[in-house]
Amino acid sequence: MSSTLQFTLSGLSCNHCVSQVKKILEQRSDVTSAQVTIDHATVVSTAAPEVLIDVISDEGYHAHLDD
């Protein structure tokens, strides 16, 4: 079952960074959609939040799940 997850992002400094995070999220088969701004992401996914945080971290950015 998909759920909508909200993340606060840091380390993104330009539109290229935003595009890169959106691209890496949307390439995953467990992500239905991803809306990314320079400091937030809304992701519809079946993945655990920790998995998506790791994916974003692997690209050199930081994310944490909003409360």
Strands in 21-66 per DSSP E: 31-36, 40-45, 62-65
**How far apart are alpha carbons 14 and 44 in whole angstroms?**
23
**How far apart are alpha carbons 16 and 58 in whole angstroms?**
16
Domain extent, residue 40, equals: 3-65
Q: What digits encode the pLDDT tens for the residues 2-59?
A: 999 999 999 999 999 999 999 999 999 999 999 999 999 999 999 999 999 999 999 9
Number of domains the chain is built from: 1
The CATH number of whichever domain residue 32 belongs to comes to 3.30.70.100
Whole-structure pTM value: 0.93
**Which strand ranges, in their side-by-side order, compose the sheet holding 3-10?**
31-36, 40-45, 3-10, 62-65
